[in-house]
C-alpha cells in the first residue's frame, strides 16, 4: 500500500516561518495597545531574531531509529 508523506522542509525555513509569524503578531499587538510604530518595529525585529535562534537550536526533534 502506498503511504503518502508531507514533503521534507529544511529546519531553517521552518524556524524562519515561525519567527516571522510570531514577530508580526507581536508587532501588531504592540501597535494595538498604543506603542509607537518605531518601538513596535524594533521590538518585533528583535523578537524575530530571538525566536528564529530559539526554534533553530531547540525546536528540532531527534530522528527516530528504525528497527
For residues 9, 11, 15 and 20, what is the CA-based torsion angle, rounded to 10 degrees? -30
The size of the chain, in residues, is 67
Over 70: is that where the pLDDT of 67 sits? no
Domain ranges of the chain: 11-58
Give the pLDDT of residue 63. 64
- Judge whether 26 and 41 are in contact, CB under 8 Å: no
Give the pLDDT of residue 41. 95
Instruction: Work out the mean pLDDT of the chain and round it to a whole number.
Output: 88
Q: From residue 25, give the alpha-carbon distance in Å to each of 19, 20, 38, 47.
A: 10, 9, 16, 10
What's the pLDDT tens digit per position in 7-29?
A: 788 888 988 999 999 999 999 99
Over 70: is that where the pLDDT of 66 sits? no
- Judge whether 18 and 55 are in contact, CB under 8 Å: yes
Amino acid at each position: 500500500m502506498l503511504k503518502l508523506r508531507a514533503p521534507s522542509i529544511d529546519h531553517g525555513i521552518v524556524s524562519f516561518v515561525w519567527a516571522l509569524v510570531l514577530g508580526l503578531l507581536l508587532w501588531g499587538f504592540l501597535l494595538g495597545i498604543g506603542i509607537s510604530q518605531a518601538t513596535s518595529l524594533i521590538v518585533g525585529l528583535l523578537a524575530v531574531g530571538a525566536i528564529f535562534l530559539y526554534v533553530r537550536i531547540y525546536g528540532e526533534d531527534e530522528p527516530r531509529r528504525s528497527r
